[in-house]
Structures are given as structure tokens and as C-alpha cells.
Structure 1
Amino acid sequence: MRRALLFALALLALPSAQAADLKPFSASYTADWKQLPMSGTAERSLSKGADGDWTLNFKASMVIASLTESSTLRMDKETLLPQKYHFERGGLGKAKTVDLDFDWSAKKVTGTDRGDAITLPLNRGVLDKSSYQLALQHDVAAGKKSMSYQVVDGDEIDTYDFRVLGEEKVQTKAGSIDAIKVERVRDPTQSKRVTVLWFAKSWDYLLVQLQQVETDGKEYTIMLQDGTVDGRKVQGS
């Protein structure tokens, strides 16, 4: 359950509306379980380096667990090209570390997951578990109603599917924000987990809320606390 909350926190702060027009940002969130007195916080930031590469950093913490994630990526016109990915989970329970290198000239992904070696074929469009979120933002902003991504997940390349459910106002700690509601699509015969996300229309489609129901029925909500996009403070009505 603790790992599930940290996993949901890792979906936070999906940054820019246009993949070819990324903007630096920072955001903080709170997370609360509906059935339990358990809470957590998360922070995410996107910054551009002197070499033109972008770095997406993430950190989540709870009372007895923590998670960090970092993805370095490069833009080639409208295509996101991940370069390096790092994930680390610590605290009580099973620790986990993942490191990936994306070699586009050799067309392969290499690295380790919990110490196990990984080698996978790399084709244009393949993303890591952080950079795919940028592609999702781009497609939601472009008005698409259904989206599918090829993501390196463990020792395989998995397909992540999403669909747009409509528009809603979300009451966040930064005020009322007009948002696009999106659902992760899963095969109900394979997983009963439900994930719904809301993206702010006027703030480069920053994620402002996430709700997840686990297979055991546990439910939690993640909410934007405060943030800035391209130097502008996020404010609702």
C-alpha cells in the first residue's frame, strides 16, 4: 500500500502543453488516503541545461518511505528522446533502484533494475516511466481523446493507454482550476486499479489532481498545493 501511494505520487506534475515548447516549472503536492490517517508530499521540477537537454526531477516522501526519480531528455522537433533515467525507492519494505541509458545511435536501452541487467531494442517513440508523461501532456493539449505510449517497464517495453473523459473544475489549494479529466485504460480482467488525472487548461496542462483506487479498494487523492510555470505562480479563481 505504501509503495502504491509512492507510485501514484510519481505520476505528478506532468509539465508542458507542447512538447516542442517546454517551459521550466516547479510544483508541490499533498497526498491523503481516504481510509487511513496516512499522508505524503511530493515535489517535481523541470529545468533546461546549458546543453539544451531537459531534466525532470521528482521527490516524494512519507513518514517511513521515500522515492526519487530523474529523467534527462532531448527534443528532436516534436519527438521526445530520453537519454538517462534513474529511480530509487527507500525506507521500509523492498528497496528498488533502476538506471537506464538510451543509446539512440546503437538503438538499444541498457541498464539495471534491482541489480538485474536490462537490454532492450530502442525505436523512436519509446519512453521511460517519467518522460512518457510529457508525451501525455502534449497529446491532451493537442485535443486527442485517446493516447497510447511505449514505455520501458522493468525488462520489457509495455503499452500505457489513456483516454479523455471530459472537462471539470477542480478545487485545489491554489483555487478553482478548469481541467481536462483523463483516465488510465487497463484491461479489467488483468487489473482492477483505477487511475484518474486532471490537467489544468490554463497552466500548460500541469497535473492538479490525481485519484487512484487500488485492487484492494484503498483510495487516495493527490492535490496540487502550489506551483509555478515559466516563472508564473499557479492561481485558480
Structure 2
Amino acid sequence: MRRALLFVCALLTLPVQAFELKPFSASYTADWKQLPISGTAERSLKRLDDGRWQLGFEAAMLVASLTEQSTFRVENDTFLPLNYRFNRSGLGKAKQVELDFDWTEKQVLGSDRGDPVRLLLNRGLQDKSTYQLVLQHDVADGKKSMSYQVVDGDEIETYDFRVLGEEQVETKAGTVDALKVERVRDPTQSNRKTILWFAKDWDYLLVRLHQVEKDGKEYQIMLEEGTVDGKPVKGRGK
């Protein structure tokens, strides 16, 4: 019994393996429930020559397109956004956002739909792209409830999430075991819904996203194929 207790104590004192950021690329099908056509989406993370990282997302269909790109660095396991660019066209909802994070002057400067943005920059603040990577990081670390400060328009909003449990997701890359995560919103303030699925065996890569907008329109992306650290994503049955 004593030996068993010592073994358990030794396990508990082992250092927790830190989440290692790995480059990835993934392609998705993109579907709008109210429209009879599908689109495509691409998401990628790559390391730049100077040690910074670049996270990109692109989605397109016949009548609309969206591009989003963040450049950031990681310092002591903290994600520090450097600049953020967003552009959406089509469907009568054009939008352009440009933000720069000045960590020396501790401020965020830029514009959102032509309106100036100037905010105080504190460590931990994320843009609307990098918080998704931080969420991926925290889910991999076993956290069940997460909260982030995110630049949203000309304000800083709190984004809350919770892990709902495990679920199998059928993709064109095969069946993957995933953690299902929900964006937590006050139902008296918003009827939007966002649910994400992260692949447990593939560095918690996003494999599915389902969103319901305020007007009831539904949007979903589903993994077609991807690579993590150069290795092709293969689920069961492939």
C-alpha cells in the first residue's frame, strides 16, 4: 500500500506537459442552412522566420467572402497579439477591421468599419482570432470553464466558454474523438449560439463549428482534410 501511495504521489508531482504550439492547415466545407449552395473555408497556423506566428482564416462562397489574419508571439506561455486584419464582403454586410497591438505603449490602435479604435492594452487581451487558439490551448490543458478578454469593435468584451463533454465527429478525414465546447452567453441579452468541436488526437484542431446568428440563420464548417505539424489528419475508417 505504501509503495502504491508513493507511486501516485510521484505521478502527481510530475510536471504537466505544456501545450506545444504546432503549425497546422485545415480545409472545411462551409454551409449556410438558408442557402442552397455550399462554400469552402481554410484555416492555418504557421511560424514566421522571426519567431512570430500567423493565424489565418478564409471562407468563400458564390455571393460572399471573408478573410481574417492575426500575427502574434508567445511569451512565457502567454499569447500576445501584434496585429489583426478582417475583411468581409458580399451579402450586403461589408466589414473591415484593422488593429495593431502596441505592447510598448500598452495600447490597441486601429479602426473598425471606419470608426477609430483606441483601447488600453493589458496582458491577456486577445483579438477575435487569437482567442480561438488560447481556447484550443486551454481545452488541451483540461480546463472545463474559460473566460477571455477580447477586442470586439471599439470595446473589450468578455467571452465565456464551457466544455460540454466528448463526442465523435464524422468528417471526410474519418471519425474523430472530439471535445465539444460551447460559447456561454446570457440568454436575456443574446440568442446567438456557437459550438465548437476540437479533435483530441490531433492537437485539438478545430474539426467542426456550428453557429446560429441573432436572426436565426445557421452557419457550419466541417473538416474535409488537414495536417498538424506536417502529419495528415486521419480519423477512424480512413
Asked if these proteins are the same fold (TM beyond 0.5), I'd say yes
Contact 2:160 2:185 (8 Å CA) reproduced: yes
- Match of 1:209? 208
> Structure 1 residues 227 and 103, CA, compared in 2 at 3 Å: closer, same or farther?
same
- What residue identity is the alignment partner of 2:37? M
> Structure 1 residues 34 and 90, CA, compared in 2 at 3 Å: closer, same or farther?
closer
Q: Distance in 2 between matches of 1:119 and 1:34?
A: 37
- Match of 1:141? 140
- Match of 1:77? 76
> Structure 1 residues 216 and 41, CA, compared in 2 at 3 Å: closer, same or farther?
same
> Structure 1 residues 34 and 87, CA, compared in 2 at 3 Å: closer, same or farther?
closer
Q: Distance in 2 between matches of 1:30 and 1:87?
A: 20
Contact 1:19 1:80 (8 Å CA) reproduced: no
Query: More deviation in 215-224 or 90-99?
Result: 215-224
Q: Which runs of 5+ in 1 are unaligned?
A: 1-17
Contact 1:213 1:220 (8 Å CA) reproduced: yes
Question: How many aligned residue pairs are there?
Answer: 220
Query: More deviation in 86-95 or 211-220?
Result: 211-220
Structure 2 residue 155 is the aligned partner of structure 1 residue 156: yes
Give CA deviations for 1:168-225 in whole Å, capped at 9, x if unaligned. 1111111000000100000000111111111000000001111222334333432100
> Structure 1 residues 220 and 60, CA, compared in 2 at 3 Å: closer, same or farther?
closer
Contact 1:19 1:138 (8 Å CA) reproduced: no
- Match of 1:6? none
Contact 2:30 2:59 (8 Å CA) reproduced: no
> Structure 1 residues 128 and 173, CA, compared in 2 at 3 Å: closer, same or farther?
same
- Match of 1:183? 182
Indicate the structure (1 or 2) with the bigger Cα radius of gyration: 2
% identical aligned pairs: 72
Superposition RMSD in Å = 1.5
Q: Which runs of 5+ in 2 are unaligned?
A: 1-16
Q: Distance in 1 between matches of 2:48 and 2:218?
A: 38
Q: Distance in 2 between matches of 1:229 and 1:89?
A: 27
Greater RCO (Cα-Cα under 8 Å, separation 6 or more): 1
TM-score under structure 2 length normalisation: 0.88
TM-score under structure 1 length normalisation: 0.89
Q: Distance in 2 between matches of 1:101 and 1:35?
A: 35
Say which SS state the counterpart of residue 136 (structure 1) adopts: helix
Contact 2:19 2:141 (8 Å CA) reproduced: no
Q: Distance in 1 between matches of 2:102 and 2:217?
A: 40
Structure 2 residue 164 is the aligned partner of structure 1 residue 165: yes
- What residue identity is the alignment partner of 1:87? F
- Match of 2:197? 198
